[in-house]
Amino acid sequence: MTEEATHNTKTVAEILAQAFYDNNVTHIYGVPGGGSSLLLIEAAAQLGIKFVLTRTESGAMMMASATAELTGTIGVALTTKGPGVASAANGSACSLLDRAPVILVTDGFTDQQSNFITHQFIDQKALLAPVNKGHSRLEENQVISEINRLVNLAMSPPCGPVHIELTGATAKKEVIEPQTQKINEDYQINADNLNTLKDACELINNASQPVFVIGLEARSIENTEKIRQLIERTGYPVLTTYKAKGVISDYHPQYAGIFTGGISESACISKADLIILIGVDPVEFVLQKWRYQVPIIDISVIEYPVHYVRPDVGLYGSISNNISTLLKEIPVWPSSWKLSAIEELRNNMLHSLECHAKEGIGSQDVVQVALESAMSKHEGNLQKKLPLITVDAGAHMFSVMAFWPCNQPLDVLISNGLATMAYALPAA
């Protein structure tokens, strides 16, 4: 983080809006009431940050989550107090479990008001505590420091929402504090991987049919580039979780299909003598126990305390750095995989996921018609960028995620941690 110090008198609402601007926020989503909501909207507008009125507060959180995923910076949503906060709870849970860094700014009650008011009064901090990473009322003197703490908390893996409970009185309060321009840097964890690196190399060199499983942590430009180098070097088949779809193109000959932790990928995984997880967050797995009894290497930003599987080797910290080191340490990656075998596995998986309606129009039929329309505009060029799509949870998503091709990360947005419904429209 880089700091440039000047001394100005600004309101807390203005300081908060400036922090959003410094973190490249361009839109705030929400359903405002009075109090701090309007003050923050006005302060943000002075900096060119647009306010988008949403149908629901939960939808505002989902819009902010989608924005955060697409831009790589924080998303911002705001609500009024009481019912607005209650309505935002599902959206906050979505941000938390789908790992989206979002700041939710809600109006609140002052201590004086809470002594006599019961109308619309709920313990907003307690209500949202299970579905966010942190809370602040910005009532301490070091406002900028507190805002930066919350931004860093939201952006630290696993990413997620934080809650600012901002009363009208606090929003109007003027403070004198050094203004801090925050420059985002990639989150890095300095991990001592020397011994585990040696163990990983040994497992890889002794294997003949490893399989890659790619997860949501892999979606950054840097990680995707390095992972694609690794894929080309190895010749291994690649499975992706829903949120990692596009890290490898669906048209790549080594792409074997989707990984959910369920049955559909078992034909591929059952042939593996080593599973290499890259950027996998277990929040995406279905509610089933891990079924594979082969060694596992886990390459991830962090070590998740609750996981479906205990890896034999864990390489934690920067994914791109760990992959770069592996590429240097292992010039030739042993593999007995043939592209024809991977193609057969991919086709068999797609066949198992086919779901045509016996009557009327089914989800796969809709996908096929939409895809044909999009492809006609590109004259059949498979490498052209197709429209970004958003997908709701439900049985229909199996057809969409299997049969809609992606060439880049985030070509499709889906809630796959909370797996909430009513996500696709606000995310779009």
- Give dist(CA 248, CA 265) in Å, integer: 16
- What domain range includes position 27? 7-178
Count: domains in the chain: 3
Same domain, 160 and 194: no
Same domain, 32 and 143: yes
Q: DSSP letter string over 352-365?
A: HH----SSS--HHH
Q: DSSP letter string over 119-184?
A: TT---HHHHHGGGSS-EE---SS-HHHHHHHHHHHHHSSSP--EEEE--HHHHH-EEEEE------
Phi, then psi, of 350 in degrees rounded to 5: -60, -40
CATH number at residue 80: 3.40.50.970
- Give dist(CA 409, CA 123) in Å, integer: 39
389 lies in some domain:
yes
95 lies in some domain:
yes
Same domain, 29 and 158: yes
318 lies in some domain:
yes
21 lies in some domain:
yes
DSSP 81: S
Q: What is the pLDDT along the chain (428 residues), one digit of tens a residue?
A: 444 445 668 999 999 999 999 999 999 999 999 889 999 999 999 999 999 999 999 999 999 999 999 999 999 999 999 999 999 999 999 999 999 999 999 998 878 777 887 787 789 999 999 999 999 999 988 899 999 999 999 999 999 999 999 999 999 999 886 655 554 455 554 445 667 899 999 999 999 999 999 999 999 999 999 999 999 999 999 999 999 999 999 999 999 999 999 999 999 999 999 999 999 999 999 989 999 999 999 999 999 998 999 999 999 999 999 999 999 999 999 999 999 999 999 999 999 888 777 777 888 888 888 888 888 876 656 666 788 999 999 888 888 999 999 999 999 999 999 999 999 999 99
Same domain, 389 and 345: no
Same domain, 253 and 323: yes
Peptide bond into 334 cis (omega under 30): no
Distances (CA, A) of 331 to 115, 153, 210, 228, 237: 69, 38, 16, 16, 19
Same domain, 170 and 75: yes
Same domain, 396 and 331: no
1 lies in some domain:
no
Same domain, 173 and 195: no
* pTM for this entry: 0.91
Q: DSSP letter string over 186-203?
A: --------HHHHHHHHHH
Classify residue 106 as left (phi > 0), alpha (psi -120 to 50) or beta. Answer: beta
Same domain, 337 and 400: no
Question: Which residue, among 335, 294, 333, has the nearest Cα to 311 in the 3D structure?
Answer: 294
Among 326, 353, 380, where does a domain finish? Answer: 353
Same domain, 251 and 318: yes
Distances (CA, A) of 290 to 260, 282, 294: 11, 11, 11
CATH number at residue 286: 3.40.50.1220
Please answer whether residues 417 and 98 qualify as being in contact, where contact means their C-beta atoms are separated by less than 8 angstroms: yes
Same domain, 274 and 384: no
Same domain, 173 and 273: no
